[in-house]
Amino acid sequence: MGAKDKLQGEGDRDSARRYDEATKAFVESGKVKKQAETTAKISPEEERELEEAEKGWQRACKGGRPGGAARLL
């Protein structure tokens, strides 16, 4: 078995190197901004849901609910 045939397990260096190279290529391609803009668009309904969820967490962290934030986790 050659070096390329060996299983390296979780977190292996070859996979990390390939991921880093692919990530660098994606960033340098200029597609990051376009992808971020596309991903950032949410509907008004989704925005309201997110705001409600955030308010719920804020209440929980201030002790507004029995058990505080730990109860939500």
Q: Are 60 and 71 in contact (CB under 8 A)?
A: yes
pLDDT tens digits, residue range 48-73?
Answer: 999 999 988 888 887 655 555 555 55
pLDDT tens digits, residue range 4-44?
Answer: 556 666 778 888 899 999 999 988 998 888 888 877 788 88
pLDDT at 6: 67
User: Would you say the pTM of this structure is higher than 0.85?
Assistant: no
pLDDT at 1: 43
Q: Are 42 and 50 in contact (CB under 8 A)?
A: yes
